[in-house]
Structure 1
Amino acid sequence: MKERATFKDFLADLLEAECLQREERKKARLVREANFPRPKRLEDFEFDKNPNIVPEQVNTLADPAWVKAGLPLCLIGDSGTGKSHLLIGIGTAIAEAGLRVRYTTTANLVNELAEAADEKKLNRTLARYGRVDLLCLDEFGYLDLDKTGAKLLFQVFTEREERRGIAIASNGISGPDPEETPPRLTGPVRHNPNHARACVGPGKQAPGAGSWATYWPL
């Protein structure tokens, strides 16, 4: 009986080890498929260099609940403030939680959508992006969008609204009033108040925009 129990324990340990290995392989695959340009993790972020960012608040975004609820997140700050690090770190945490993530820059996404539209493949491309649980869109404020580009990007936003998560990193905002925000930031989202309002202040909820996840200026 003792040998039988020992053998059962051995098989149980072997099965547990195999399950853990499969889980680690799945995490690695989801992170790889997210197409991050470089590895960045939230635990490596230098919070001491930016007092506006509270570690406890940022770490809550590693929980995929806001992504599953289809909430958007906006990280705004000047160059060198760490918004891309946070965007990639949050995306990595969400991927390791088992969700599908895709990282891209705004310029690359708009170019891809424009090419797809020219080749009559826009619906297919929109559907592909629509299947990911979290879309991480970097360098949002660096691109001056023309009317066509804004419309294409707006289609991505409307397809995901309240169904799939989206996280944006942008380099500037002039104030809490969307009408005061530079046009290049609000062009694709001006028609939707839930996507156009943000409040300057660490860890505050955007006023009048209940679908926004927590927003911090960097």
Structure 2
Amino acid sequence: MTFPRHRGLTEQAAQAAVDSACRMLRLPTIRRQFGELADTATREQMTYLGFLAELLMAECDDRARRRSERRIKATAFPRDKSLREYDFDANPHIDPAVIHTLAACEWVKKGQPLCLIGDSGTGKSHLLIALGTEAAMKGFRVRYTLATKLVNELVEAADDKQLSKTIARYGRVDLLCIDELGYMELDRRGAELLFQVLTEREEKASVAIASNESFGGWTKTFTDPRLCAAIVDRLTFGGNIIETGTESYRLAQTRARVEQRTAG
């Protein structure tokens, strides 16, 4: 397709030409916003160069936003959680400065592990998802899974002779978030398969886990003591350990709401 190059384009023809060009060049943001930005440019007496810069920056910003949204969607997080929503005042065990340092994602860049340890309702999963979201927004490939779901997937892959392919797929992400590790006992085969995933990622790519058990209680999940020790070593060497405590602020919030209704 060719476009007319003479100066006599009517306003309507110019708009149609811009629309067609944007479709051809795949510039959806400029296509949507050029009319509004053109009005702004006229009103603020922008130079041609300034107007062009505004158009291109709008396209770049929107592309970055869409990429970020795609990365967050690819994480398979079960729900949206952000650090802004986390109530640090309700959990004195959590140092906000430490969490916001982790949100910079240098540990992901370095391939270091992260362990969030604490009882139910203390905000482990919230922090796991929120920090994973921060990583995705910064351009890292992130994947979330429940520990039992991951192990079941690995067992099925092994039965179908697809284990190497599955482990390689999990090995390609920059950050693997494993939630609810320690809630259920794993048989030796499942534990060994999980160990293979951790070994594949060791010192190359980050693993973040959330567990309701302290490391001393992991022998209930990984019943082989030597394998348990090896898994703990993989998840703690050179990494960050955040203890979220034992008091459920989720339960405390529920009680507070009940008390408010009763008082009202």
TM range (shorter): 0.7 to 0.9
2:219 touches 2:228 (CA, 8 Å); kept in 1? Answer: no
Query: For residue 123 of structure 1, what is the aligned residue in structure 2?
Result: 164
Q: CA deviation at 1:100?
A: 0.4
Return the alpha-carbon distance in structure 1 between the equivalents of residues 182 and 232 of structure 2. 18
Query: For residue 218 of structure 2, what is the aligned residue in structure 1?
Result: 182
Q: Which AA in structure 2 matches 1:183? A: T
Matched, 1:215 2:242: yes
1:189 touches 1:195 (CA, 8 Å); kept in 2? Answer: no
Secondary structure of the structure 2 residue equivalent to 1:182: helix
Deviations 1:135-191 (A, max 9, x none): 000000102010000000000110011100010000021xxxx6x433145555512
Matched, 1:153 2:189: no
Query: For residue 194 of structure 1, what is the aligned residue in structure 2?
Result: 233
Aligned length: 198
Secondary structure of the structure 2 residue equivalent to 1:86: helix
1:71 touches 1:162 (CA, 8 Å); kept in 2? Answer: yes
TM-score, length-scaled by structure 2 = 0.71
2:71 touches 2:142 (CA, 8 Å); kept in 1? Answer: yes
Closer/same/farther in 2, CA of residues 189 and 96 from structure 1, 3 Å limit: farther
Q: Which AA in structure 1 matches 2:86? A: F
Deviations 1:45-85 (A, max 9, x none): 01111100011111111112101111000001111111000
1:33 touches 1:102 (CA, 8 Å); kept in 2? Answer: yes
Q: CA deviation at 1:216?
A: 2.5
Q: Which AA in structure 2 matches 1:162? A: E
Between the aligned residues of both structures, percent identity stands at 51
Q: Which AA in structure 2 matches 1:127? A: A
Return the alpha-carbon distance in structure 2 between the equivalents of residues 26 and 192 of structure 1. 34
- Among 162, 170, 194, the alignment partner of 2:211 is 170
Q: CA deviation at 1:192?
A: 5.7
1:195 touches 1:212 (CA, 8 Å); kept in 2? Answer: no
Q: Which AA in structure 1 matches 2:229? A: R
Return the alpha-carbon distance in structure 1 between the equivalents of residues 139 and 96 of structure 2. 22
List runs of 5+ in structure 2 lacking aligned partners.
Answer: 1-41, 246-264
Matched, 1:48 2:89: yes
Q: How well do the aligned residues superpose, as a CA RMSD in angstroms? A: 1.8
Return the alpha-carbon distance in structure 2 between the equivalents of residues 54 and 74 of structure 1. 15
Query: For residue 176 of structure 2, what is the aligned residue in structure 1?
Result: 135
| 1:5-154 equivalent positions in 2, closer than 5 A | 6-154=47-195
List runs of 5+ in structure 1 lacking aligned partners.
Answer: 198-208
Closer/same/farther in 2, CA of residues 148 and 192 from structure 1, 3 Å limit: closer
2:202 touches 2:234 (CA, 8 Å); kept in 1? Answer: no
